[in-house]
Amino acid sequence: MKGAWGAVLRCGFVLLAALILLSLPAPMVEAQADGGEVFILTAEGPITPALGDYLERGLDRAEAAEAELLVLRLDTPGGSVQVMGNIVRSLSNAAVPTLVYIWPSGGQAASAGTFLTLSADLAAMAPNTTIGAASVVGGGGEEVDETMQRKISNDLRAMIRAQAEDRGPEAVEWAEAAITEAVAANANEALAMNVVDFIAVDTSDLLRQADGRTVTLADGEERTLNVAQAPLRDMPMGWIQRLLHIITDPNIALMLVSLGGIALFYELTSPGGYIGGIFGIIATLLGFYALGSLDANWVGLALIFFSMILFFIEIKTAVTGLFAAGGLAAFVAGALLLFQGSYAEISLPLVLGMAAAVALFFVVALAAVMRSRNRPSVTGQEGLIGAKGEVRSPVGPDQTGIVLALGERWQATAATTLVEGDKVRVVAVDGLHISVEPLRSSGPSGSDTLHRNGELL
């Protein structure tokens, strides 16, 4: 067991080191400063820290290349307001002209996406897209309490007024209503209110209509766009960024922690396969990495970690289920506190669903443990010592392997190195771990002979 968990933990530490390296800023690939290019970024899905990092790096590269225009194709239901605020500041202070394009047809710039759209120098929408519905709700769509809602709403109204004031009073009025009344607009309605500058069916049409327009940058410089025939540089999100973008959704992060914990507990109750342990460590590390990057509440994280300790104790003792019940309570409380008072709250149905899954696992696992305890001792210490078996994976003094004895697979070590197929006898039992020795019989000359692979040696 010790050797197996050592291998599992080594895999976990390698993954943790990889995650730390991935979280460091990537070296900037300097684009040639020949200017005249149109950089195209694509943001799809919730606004997460990984997506924010992708957009920040894309903007840095566009500025380094002195791009003619940075186009952000956007399709988002909203997301982290903290990340949104960082992106808004970057777009508002960009050294190159920026254009947010709500795309493709059927897409949306809801909630935080509305702020991103209004913060760019130019804004456009594809046909059959929508913008708005920026009222304050929790991560699962639930309303937040009245006091917190008033505070957040006032902050967001001030922010969106600052972004929309250059578009005229009608655009400002609509932008505030998007927060206070959750109003939304389709492409034609947004154009009529000057919330966006034009409607474009595709990227070519977008650049044709943007060509010749004059924008004013944050430093006061005016730029007239020359983009109708400009070369395009598409910068899609890399696979690592896509993975981090997926797992930094707070609900996905909680699922990873929950499923990883269940897999680890399964490995503890049914050791030998290692798959559950390896998956559990990977999923749990990814989940905690994601929660950490989301600036989760440390009290919530501590409660979830404490719940895992209680679950581990329950697995080891399996007495009354008291530790499992305490672990469930700590898990639910921790999940609900993870983003308390923030905009990236975890869905309550998801929390209850994960808690139910963990509870079901412990009901099944504890029932199996109790049945095992009530069963006559045929595979316990009394029944195992002296039992014959066969090596299924190499064992030795410093190597834990698998031995099949009495019809079950056991973690085993031996005083000498034994290979697959060797016949053995159990000489000691320590919990789920056994010690074995090679099975010998009297040879033709009266000497002991080792059984290997079914033959006498």
CATH assignment at residue 217: 3.90.226.10
Structural domain range at position 165: 36-237
Do 314 and 360 sit in the same domain of this protein? yes
Q: Identify which of 127-141, 234-248, 316-330 has the greatest average pLDDT.
A: 234-248
- 142 pLDDT more than 50: no
The percentage of the chain sitting over the pLDDT mark of 70, rounded to a whole number, equals 79
Which residue would you say has higher pLDDT here, 406 or 331? 331
Do 350 and 448 sit in the same domain of this protein? no
Q: Quickly list H helices, 93-232.
A: 112-119, 146-164, 169-180, 187-192, 203-210
| 1, part of any domain | no
**434 DSSP β-pair partners:** 412, 429
| 19, part of any domain | no
Q: Which of 337, 355, 374 represents a domain boundary (last residue)?
A: 374
- 343 pLDDT more than 60: no
pLDDT band at 323, cuts 50/70/90?
confident
Q: Which of 374, 400, 421 represents a domain boundary (last residue)?
A: 374
Do 207 and 93 sit in the same domain of this protein? yes
- 457 pLDDT more than 50: no
Mean pLDDT throughout 415-441? 89
Which pTM value belongs to this model? 0.68
Looking up tokens 């033959």 gives 455
| 221, part of any domain | yes
Confidence at residue 228, expressed as pLDDT on a 0 to 100 scale: 93
Least confident residue range of 51-55, 222-226, 307-311: 307-311
Do 289 and 216 sit in the same domain of this protein? no
Looking up tokens 């210490």 gives 381
Q: Identify which of 143-152, 293-302, 387-396 has the greatest average pLDDT.
A: 387-396
| 187, part of any domain | yes
Task: Quote the CA–CA distance of 276 and 264 in Å, as a whole number.
Answer: 6
Confidence at residue 370, expressed as pLDDT on a 0 to 100 scale: 64
| 27, part of any domain | no
| pLDDT, the chain, mean | 83
Do 369 and 450 sit in the same domain of this protein? no
| 17, part of any domain | no
pLDDT band at 34, cuts 50/70/90?
very low
pLDDT band at 26, cuts 50/70/90?
very low
Least confident residue range of 49-58, 231-240, 309-318, 377-386: 377-386
Do 130 and 217 sit in the same domain of this protein? yes
Mean pLDDT throughout 423-427? 93
Looking up tokens 């070590």 gives 413
Do 65 and 101 sit in the same domain of this protein? yes
> CATH number, domain at 426?
2.40.50.140
Confidence at residue 24, expressed as pLDDT on a 0 to 100 scale: 46
Half-sphere exposure of 419 (CA within 13 A, CB side): 5
Q: Which of 359, 374, 389 represents a domain boundary (last residue)?
A: 374
Do 81 and 138 sit in the same domain of this protein? yes
Looking up tokens 């009266």 gives 446
DSSP for residue 76: B
Confidence at residue 18, expressed as pLDDT on a 0 to 100 scale: 56
- Tally of domains within the chain: 3
What is residue 297's three-state secondary structure? coil
Confidence at residue 262, expressed as pLDDT on a 0 to 100 scale: 84
Which residue would you say has higher pLDDT here, 346 or 223? 223
| 98, part of any domain | yes
Confidence at residue 288, expressed as pLDDT on a 0 to 100 scale: 86
pLDDT band at 446, cuts 50/70/90?
very low
Do 171 and 78 sit in the same domain of this protein? yes
Do 203 and 185 sit in the same domain of this protein? yes
Do 368 and 253 sit in the same domain of this protein? yes
- 17 pLDDT more than 80: no
Total Cβ atoms within 10 A of residue 55:
24
- 445 pLDDT more than 50: no
